[in-house]
Each structure stands twice: as C-alpha cells, then as structure tokens.
Amino acid sequence: MANNWSLSSSLKGRDCPSVDYDAVWFLATLLVTFATIILCWLWNSTEKKERVSGLPPGDMGLPFFGDTIQYVNAYYNMSVKNYVNKKIARYGSPVFKAKLMGQMTVFMDAPEGSKLMFMRGNDEKLIQGYWPKSTLKLVGSNVLSSQNGAAYRCHKRHMLTHFLGHNVVPRYLARIEKRSVEYIQRYWLDGTIDGSVLETQNLLMIHTFRLIADLCLTLTDTTESEKLRPTFDVWEKGLMALPINLPGTDYHQSLKARAEILDYFDTYVQRRKQELKDGTASPTQDYLSVMLTEPDDTGHFYTDEEIETNILHLIHGGANTVSSTLTMVIRLIAEHPEVYDQLVAEHTAIMERKGDSQALTIEDVRSMKYSWMVLQETLRVYPSLPGIFREATTTFDYNGYTIPKGWKLLCTAAQSFQNPELVEEPERFDPSRFERGSFPPHVFFPFGGGVRLCPGYELAKVIMLVFLHHFLKNLHWTLTDPDEKVVYHFSPGTVKGSPIRITRVKAF
C-alpha cells in the first residue's frame, strides 16, 4: 500500500487553527535558500579579499568550514602527519595554506619555518602569539599566553623571576616530592595487591591537578580540589567547542564555569591578603603570594582578576600537559623493558650516592640525565603541543610566497620532529637519540620556542622527574591493553584511560 502520510493530512479533523502547510513549506524553503545565498555571498566576498598574488598553494576547502573538519579529525586520531603529507604531495610544496577554524592558515616547513617563528627578532616584527577571540573570552586577555609585545615580556620576566625560573623552582622541590610520595602511597600502594589494575590516566590527572593547585594556592585539602575539578572539566570543554553562547551549549556552560572558578579563587585571594598582613602566610609560599607581594618591572601590582585568571591558566596548562606526558611515558616504558632497566639503574646509582639521605636534592634531579631523555623522547612521539600557532603582524614574503597580515602560521610536529627527512627512524622510540644530539636546530620544540618558550618548562621537568623516581622505586607494571588507541583532545590520552597491572617492588 502506498504511504500517503503527510503533515497536513495527519492534522485533518483535529481542533487546530487552519494553516496552509504548503505555504509554510514554501516560506521555509525560501528562507533556507535566501540564507544560503547570503552565506555564499559572504564566503565569496571573503575569498575575494584573500586573492593576493604569490600566496602559498592550497584551497579554501569546504564552504564555511574550510579544512577544519579534516584537520580536527587528523588531530584527534594522531594522523596529522598523513594529513600534511597528502597536502604536500598534492601541492608539491611543504608550505601550503588551508582554512582552519575560520582563519586562513599557512602550514610552515621545518626547520626554516619553525626558525622564522622562533627567532627573537621576528617576534612582534613579523609575528605574534594568537588566540581566537572566542578562546580569549574563556582564558582571559590578561593571561601570559594571551599577551604580546612589552606586556608579554614584562609578565614573563615576573613569572620566571619569582615562581617558574631555573633558580626558583628548587624552592618548591620538597613540596613536590612530599605530594608525589603521598599520592603514590594513597592511590597506588594502599589497598592494592600484586596484579591490581589501575587506570593511569585519571589517577595521574588527580595528582597533577592537586599538585599544581597546591603550588599556586597552597590548596592542600584534597576534598576541595576534587570539588573544583569537575568545574574545570566543564570549562575545558568550551576550549574545543563551537563558540555559540546559547544556554545548553558547551561554550555557554564553559563561560559559566569560568565565572564559578574565578569566584572560588577570589575567596583565596581575599583570605591570603589578610594572612600576609597578619604574617601567617609567606610571601614566597606559592604563586598567589608572589603575585600579591611582588610588582612587575614597571612597579605594577597585579589586580585580583589578573591573578585569578593566571591561576586558572596555570592549573589547566600544568595539570593537562604533565599528566598526559606521564601517562604516555608509563605506556612507553612498559613497551620497552630495556628502557625500564636503564631507568632503574640510573635511579639506583643516585640513591647509592646519597647514602642514608632519602630526600631528593635539586642536584639529584638534574643528574637524572637518562630519565630526562626518556621524557623528551615521549614528548617527541606524543607531543603535548602537536602544533604551534602564530599570527602575521604584517605582510611579508617567505620562501617565495606572500603571507598576508592577519593570516595564521602553523608549525606542526609532523613537519619537524616526526619528519623522517629530519629525524632518523621517527617511528622508533629511542631515548638515546638525545644523547647523540641528532636534532638540527629549530626541529624539536615540545615546549614552544624563542621568546614564547613555555615558562613552565623547568617546573614541569622537575615534577615529572620526581614522580618518575618514586614510581620506579615502588612499582613494576604491564599494559592490560597494549593496542589501546591513543587520541588527542587538548593533549594525548587513551580511549580506555591507559589501565596497567601493577606489581609492588622496592627497586632501589
């Protein structure tokens, strides 16, 4: 029997206003057609504006979306290298253009392109840091990574001088070690037996979130930090969401979560001001105290809002990148027993030199040469920053192409430290490659480079080395699913949380 159902026939006989449904459908079709014409006109007008002679090869991709869907899919599935190689093969050039997230973007080659992006003389003169406007609303325009020029340099000097610098991080070593030992005891040793299976990814996020929050705020109450984490999760979702500020959207919820987090931090700021006045808090006990007591080079004291947004950014950046790198290094060590053996040998030698003294010194940490090579190789294989963006501040020529002012530049790991033309056997996990010093300049940049090198580099390094020392000391482990898929959100992770089967040991 033929199906003669229609919206108009289904409503016949019901008590409802008389509606000409054919007219409704006609008007709806007309509106959609009109909207499509307008959007196509906007697309074409944008395309015309960008018809500059000498541009890198490439195309605009899909209407409205450009190449965003393909790139994000490649990013999530760790296949940016395939994406890039297909483009290079298609255009015959390692420098090409694509439209990503509404922005015309030039993929830069390596090492020449990364050299251009990281050379000190080019910062501000040719390029600057870049965040989309929608992201700026979430992270704040006064956080370090959102700033450029003199404001960026002044802010970064303040952070390095008083909190994150090579000579300042040792101040926090004892606290980092204490929290690491307590965490491993509580989550990995207490209540477990040989053969217990634990989910690495989430447990490491708990540790790094609490530790960075402690270093920023002296937030030692684990109940408080666990209350804060879900709100952070909501906020972080907005960083990867469509920037639609309507109730129910991830972006809208993220903005609300940001306000809640800053309100929470504000209670700490006001309390700390009183504690500093009373002498019950130290001016150097954490990032909050430093920001309240130390002016920048110009004599400016940071406002409450500036302090709170920077704490938000520090906790997010530190907790995510450190936990993801530790998750990946634990997987890679399990896959390479010879690396595990060499690590244990290095840490055994350190403890033998120390004698009865158990607490690590900064000299001990800096003597963990092989451990640092293992972490660097982990960052090469699974970079926490698969790509680094910049914005052209002026129109300039590069490698025979014109890069217009306002266009974005992107340097990817796929074109640099995962490129077989620059790195020997890039698919192989080989920490010893760092001992050989086999990288040309401007090829390996896991923490960025140049003027905008991540200021948290030294702190992240110390946190990871201290954790690895105590993890190796107490545990041996195997992967329950060696073939578990690795994917990217903000940074690398696995689809099942990277579970491992542990054996309790006393390795040294």
Structure tokens at 6: 């229609």
Task: Work out whether the CA dihedral 171, 175, 180, 185 comes out positive or negative.
Answer: positive
Structure tokens at 208: 């790094």
Range list of H helices, 382-486? 433-436, 457-474
Helix (H, G, I), strand (E, B) or coil at 64: coil
CB 227, CB 213: distance < 8 Å = no
**Is 411 annotated as a binding-site member?**
no
> Among residues 424, 415, 508, 497, which one has the least CA distance to residue 469?
508
Task: Work out whether the CA dihedral 289, 290, 294, 298 comes out positive or negative.
Answer: negative
CB 227, CB 219: distance < 8 Å = no
Q: Residue 17 region, left (φ>0) first, then alpha (ψ -120 to 50), else beta? A: beta
How far is residue 499's CA from residue 496's CA, in Å, rounded to a whole number?
7
The DSSP symbol for 264 reads: H
> Among residues 317, 318, 291, which one has the least CA distance to residue 304?
291
> Among residues 75, 140, 69, which one has the least CA distance to residue 101?
69
* Tokens 């450029």 found at: 148
How far is residue 404's CA from residue 426's CA, in Å, rounded to a whole number?
33
> Among residues 490, 494, 508, which one has the least CA distance to residue 334?
494
Which residues share a beta bridge with 192? none
How far is residue 269's CA from residue 220's CA, in Å, rounded to a whole number?
16
* Tokens 């940074």 found at: 491
* Tokens 């480079």 found at: 449
Residues, the chain, total? 508
> Among residues 385, 382, 377, 379, which one has the least CA distance to residue 438?
377
How far is residue 138's CA from residue 127's CA, in Å, rounded to a whole number?
23
How far is residue 273's CA from residue 264's CA, in Å, rounded to a whole number?
15
Q: Residue 378 region, left (φ>0) first, then alpha (ψ -120 to 50), else beta? A: alpha
How far is residue 382's CA from residue 210's CA, in Å, rounded to a whole number?
23
The DSSP symbol for 412 reads: E
CA 166 from centre of chain: 22
- What are the C-alpha distances in Å from 50 to residues 7, 59, 62, 407? 46, 11, 16, 10
Q: Which residues contact 303 (CB under 8 A, 6 or more apart)?
A: none
Binding residues for heme: 454
Show binding-site residues.
454
